[in-house]
Structure 1
Amino acid sequence: MSISIPRTQKQWTVEGLNGLESLKLNMEAPVPEPSDYEVLVKFHAASLNYRDLMITEGVYPFAQRDGIVPASDGAGEVVAIGPKVTRFEIGAKVVTLFNQGHFGGSLDTKTAKTGIGGMLDGTLRQYGTFLESGLVPMPPSLTYLEASTLSCAAVTAWNALYGLKPLLPGDVVLTQGTGGVSIFGLQFAKAAGATVIATTSSPEKASILKSLGADHVLNYKETENWGEVAKRLTPGGEGVSHVLEVGGPVTMAQSLEAVKIDGVITLIGFLGGVGQPQPGFETALRKLCTVRGVLVGSRGQFEEMNRAIEGNGIRPVVDGRVFALEDVREAYRYLWERRHFGKVVVRIG
């Protein structure tokens, strides 16, 4: 198979820490060549995460470098391979691994610094080289747009539900909002036979959550004590087994109210802001639960998740507005203003 590869490409970088003004588009960036163990990927789609917004502001709590090609999530096809590559052939459809060095087990200080879009160049470009170990096969049932949403949000949700104390049929899961991690958490939990209690801020979003399978939806603007209410909705009022905590300090107190004894609260983000009072050690101890932070997940978890996606016919929820590569700044603004439902996707090519 012969695939024509251009010499230059369109490519975004993050220059400085001035928010959207830090995003720079180079219309003639060089197309890299793969080394011995690398492949060249032609991207067809990428998706955004709140992490990408934080990187432009300089408030991302993990490693990042100036001049990075942003975004961790992307799907495309292999168009060239290095002479020692064995995992992929030209024409293979692939998805990027968030932490390029995290293949299994726990992160360490070294692998935590291999995040693409932060320390290693990411996916908001037409072509990129990656070690063959830093890619996974794309689920055959998904489109490029759908598959581009998996690398961060989906693997994070999978890790939250299966990484420490595996989700079981009959468990109760609490999700927060309608972002990528929460929607994937809802879909994975329902596929496993769990009950899902979701929170949101509007009747319109509540209706969509119910259409995706949520058993109960609580409007956190109308019900301030939604954690207590969620607990009452569980069998015997014992509380929820898993909480996907994305709000941070502003929601953590309610998450602790909702969780059951020996339940797991997985800390994923702080969309509600960080300059807020928050419950501390004594509250967590009193609730007799596990509070666990995660940074996405491993390649092994990614591959396991993809098998579940295929086996259960799960389709990622992509926001109705899809952006062109040239319109990345507008895509960032759209995400920042929380006008989306599901994943914000950029079509490339």
Structure 2
Amino acid sequence: MNSKNDFPQIFPLQDYQRKLRKKKMSGVFLVLVILVMCVISSIFPESYWGWINLFLVLLLVMDFILIYVDLNRYKIATLWDDFEYKKLVKQPFNFKAKDGMKQFAYIYIPESINLENTSKKLPAVIGLHGWGSHHREMDRYCLPIVQKNQCIYYTYDSVGQGLTPGDKSDFRQINDCQDFIDTIAALPYIDRKKIVVVGMSLGAMKAAVVAYPHPDVRGIIMMSGAYDLVYTKNRMSKLEYLLFKWNGFKFPNDEKELKKYSAVNYFRAEGICLRDDVEPTPNSARVFIMANKNDPVVRYENTLKAIQSLNLPPENYSIFEKGGHCFEGNEYWVANEINTFIKAILENELKKY
């Protein structure tokens, strides 16, 4: 792993930490005020002062809840909507699925590259966001490597998310992802032997089901993915299932459909043959996985199953003790791992056989 000083500062860490400290101090102060007012209410339970205090306590509790929610929003989003990246040009990318449905896609190009005049074959990084998010979710992890390695970054808003209309629970997203990767691999200026896909959550599931068996994808990085949907659904409590459903995520009822979209059924311990190869590329030269043990959305046992199915050595995965679903507090090191792995693939440092 690179040292902290070797890695580009892609996060406004000091500003981020300052805002977190401010929110935490506000929460601590409110807790103290609530305790004092509860004591006053207990001393004067039948007076108007007691009722006023009780009302104020309820207001403060609501304020505390809002602060807690806001604090977690800061942690989860990590302010990635506010990031600015220099020396990169962002443009719309014309992408239509095979059924003709237009989806909002984007391309990030280093300023020094002119795609219309380039004669070079360029590497490509493809970012797949998680369920309920949008295309910018993976910017914080993928764009630094684009800046430093003269490659192109592609991403898009999946169905029902971001600007793309539709039902965000529609599993047509899997086919759309296949079409997106095929579209990019067919571009005349893209080096088919240097395509890397990075997926988060549902994006990791897409990467596993679509990118892993794809002969043109040289590297796959998967984060917090549900790689076994049968296991995931069966291990859910009724409350978890209702919360998923309430938020608009619908699991297929047919177990055959669940297996169809379960990545463990696509993984091969020996690896797969890439285009023009006669021997399979081992997973250790192609796959990197990350998860958090305390993930409340997707149990990290999914990742353990994937590691076992892929027969990955320890250097090909990172499991954090804490970090929730979105690697809260671990973003810096996650970005470091991703960039190190992608750089190794682009520079052919990973042993292929």
Report if TM-score (shorter chain) is over 0.5: no
**Which TM-score tier does this pair reach, normalised by the shorter chain?**
under 0.3
TM-score by length of 2: 0.27
Q: Which of the pair is proportionally richer in strand?
A: 1
Larger radius of gyration: 2
